Amino acid sequence: MPEKPGVYIMKNSLGEVIYVGKAKILKNRVRQYFQSSKSHSEKVRAMVKNIAEFEYIVTDNEMEALILEGNLIKKYSPRYNILLKDDKFYPFIKITTNEDFPRVFVTRNFAKDGNKYFGPYTNGTAVYETINLINKVFPLRTCKRVIIEGGEPTRPCLYYHLNQCKAPCANYISKAEYDEMIKSIMDLLNGKNTALVKELKEKMEEAASELEFEKAASYRDKLAAVEAIAEKQKIFTSRSEDEDYIELFSDEIDTCVQIFFVRDGKVNGREHFIFQNTAQDDKGEIIQDFLTSFYGGTALIPKYIYLPEVSDLELMENYLSTKKGSRCFIRIPQKGDKKDLLQMVKNNAQITLEQFKSKLIQEKEINKVALTELASVLQLEELPVRIEAFDISNIQGMDSVGTMVVFEEGKPKNSDYRRFKIKTVQGANDYESMREILTRRFSHGLEEIKSLQERNLELSKGKFLYFPDLIMMDGGKGQVNIALEVLKKLNLEIPVCGMVKDDKHRTRGLIFNNLELPIPNGSNCMHLITRIQDEVHRYAITYHRSLRDKRTLHSILEDIPRIGEKRRRNLLMKFGSVENIKKASIEELMETPSIDRKAAESLKSYFMDKK
């Protein structure tokens, strides 16, 4: 191997990527895996046993290797890498300051587009409450029209008549007056509310002294809303120099990484991430992997990050500064307030990990009771550890789909969920559609088993490899009998039951061996059955809706000038639905790859004409 920086990719016997790592010198780093295993952790030893082949990519420097490593981890989600399962996009409050008459709204898409962003916030409910309160106090426009100062006036909408907008579209308010409201909102979101509170109090008292009690009541309500926002800003504030504090705690098996977000000197929120089977891993490497994953996916990188340690401080500082577009400083405090705050973060990580373990134990016990009750009701000899449930979804035969959800030990196993587009059945024929997806599911499984046996390989990971201990159909006797016919044809013996609902569409019981078996309401068994039925139904509806929306979106976009195949695909990937595209501003549309201003204006013009 070359003595150069780069990324190495470990694969198992099935050719699946199980680990991605970076190295300053590839030869030295990869060689360590194949030397004496005494110094290896349990996780590394388990991984090395599964390495059948590896490949590597040489880079010019370690920074490029770090960036490439992050991209490959996101692409392959390797089993032995530290992965952030909570890959969420936090909400921001966006003020479109690049417009003559800005709008204020919540967005989860951060972009360097000249607009003002506040956040990110970890409490989405609080953000939407804040926006509602802002709209109470400040009559801003919420429409997405392109309104230019001094432009041709148009007829004001209903919001003006409800006193919820000053109608800049009709030239009823000057840009200077409108900007004053925007400045007050920015001050408010930055925690600077003193001047606004004073002004509202004076206006309220003045109106009251002139016996304009309705007007005074309006100022009173606005004052209450401003104070409510200010109260939220004790938790959620934003300024240019932000700080994050990161610490971890490990027990004998797992690790909890906790991050505190500090804005304007106040803790505005926190997040935690549980990394299982990492207790023996190097603490500095865990934190470095966390930094790469977390800040590689989040929109905001603070100016200062405080840590207990990190494997390569200079490398991470350069990486985060490059991602941020300005300097990011990593500090390892040795004493003082910042060290004390890190200790508090660590204490919280310990408590969070203990609560997580306690909850897991409790859930495991409840699920075991539920599975025991289920086995007793169905008179099964063993507990049904793996349960697969199936459902069909369509509207009058259009976009017909089937779905499979998996529960193991009473918990959803999302990685084993599967979706099927119905290929051989025309129209709304749920029975034949179910026959198709069951045949495909179990035929693929048998083929995977046969392939592995022919190559003398152990049964390992496969798309349909593992068969269930119990099949649950979202339906009655008809669906159950279809499943039994498919299994008989494939020479498989797996118990099949149907989940039936009452007239109010609530889970009622199970169909098994052509008999309806009542399940006591409130029992652990009934709760489990209901969860399974709700989950398979949700998964089917969601998949069907996504296909329907894509088809609708595709057909509508084909009629819009300047929107070709490539642009339709990019819009589809970014927004997902026609409604989201309609709501998007020109600037948000231009954030889509290949969409320039003319194409964005063409989209907005098309949807405006359709109103």
User: pLDDT tens, 65-74?
Assistant: 887 888 788 7
Predicted confidence at residue 124, as pLDDT, reads: 65
- At residue 91 the predicted structure's pLDDT band, cuts being 50, 70 and 90, is confident
- Stretch 504-524: mean pLDDT, rounded? 85
Model confidence at 218: pLDDT above 70: yes
- Rg of the chain's alpha carbons, rounded to an integer? 29
Burial environment of residue 278 by CB neighbours within 10 A (0 to 12, 13 to 18, 19 or more):
buried
Burial environment of residue 553 by CB neighbours within 10 A (0 to 12, 13 to 18, 19 or more):
buried
Predicted confidence at residue 255, as pLDDT, reads: 92
Is the bond into 495 cis (omega within 30 degrees of 0)? no
- Long-range pairs for 481-484: beta carbons < 8 A, 24 or more residues apart: 482/431, 482/434, 482/435, 482/438, 483/390, 483/434, 483/438
- Stretch 532-555: mean pLDDT, rounded? 75
Task: Find all residues with CB under 8 Å of 13, minimum gap 6, and list them.
Answer: 50, 52, 457, 460
From CA 369, how far away is CA 375, in angstroms rounded?
10
From CA 503, how far away is CA 508, in angstroms rounded?
9
Task: Find all residues with CB under 8 Å of 393, minimum gap 6, and list them.
Answer: 400, 401, 402, 403, 540, 541, 543, 544
Model confidence at 86: pLDDT above 80: no
Predicted confidence at residue 569, as pLDDT, reads: 75
Sign of the alpha-carbon torsion through 159, 161, 164, 169: positive
From CA 95, how far away is CA 404, in angstroms rounded?
43
- At residue 450 the predicted structure's pLDDT band, cuts being 50, 70 and 90, is confident
For strands 304-306 and 243-250, give the pairing: parallel
From CA 545, how far away is CA 540, in angstroms rounded?
9
From CA 389, how far away is CA 261, in angstroms rounded?
41
Beta-carbon neighbour count of residue 180 at 10 Å? 13
Tokens of 553: 């979106």
- Stretch 513-527: mean pLDDT, rounded? 88
83 close to 69: Cβ distance less than 8 angstroms:
no
Measured between alpha carbons, how far is residue 318 from residues 6, 67, 257, 323, 324 in Å?
17, 11, 22, 9, 10
Task: Find all residues with CB under 8 Å of 242, minimum gap 6, and list them.
Answer: 261, 262, 263, 300, 302, 303, 304
pTM score over 0.75: no
Q: How far is CA 190 from the centre of its chain?
A: 27
* 116-130, 136-150, 301-315, 432-446: range with lowest mean pLDDT: 116-130
- Stretch 462-481: mean pLDDT, rounded? 88
Proportion of the chain above pLDDT 70, given as a percent? 87
Question: 194-209 vs 213-233: helix axis angle to the nearest 10?
Answer: 160
- At residue 610 the predicted structure's pLDDT band, cuts being 50, 70 and 90, is low
474 close to 462: Cβ distance less than 8 angstroms:
no
Sign of the alpha-carbon torsion through 363, 367, 370, 372: negative
Which residue is associated with the tokens 């006797």? 477
The distance between the two most distant Cα atoms of the chain, rounded to a whole number of Å, is 93
- At residue 367 the predicted structure's pLDDT band, cuts being 50, 70 and 90, is very high
Amino acid (one-letter) located at 152: E
Tokens of 488: 């008989």
Average of per-residue pLDDT values in the chain? 83
- Stretch 157-179: mean pLDDT, rounded? 90
Predicted confidence at residue 237, as pLDDT, reads: 36
- Stretch 314-326: mean pLDDT, rounded? 89
Model confidence at 582: pLDDT above 90: no
Q: Which of 59, 65, 185 is nearest to 116 (CA)?
A: 185
DSSP per-residue codes, 152-220: ------HHHHTTS---GGGT-S-HHHHHHHHHHHHHHHTT--HHHHHHHHHHHHHHHHTT-HHHHHHHH
Which carries the bigger pLDDT value, residue 487 or residue 605?
A: 487
Model confidence at 42: pLDDT above 50: yes
From CA 610, how far away is CA 323, in angstroms rounded?
41
Model confidence at 456: pLDDT above 80: no
Beta-carbon neighbour count of residue 118 at 10 Å? 24
From CA 433, how far away is CA 451, in angstroms rounded?
27
Task: Find all residues with CB under 8 Å of 313, minimum gap 6, and list them.
Answer: 330, 332
Predicted confidence at residue 611, as pLDDT, reads: 58
From CA 512, how far away is CA 529, in angstroms rounded?
14
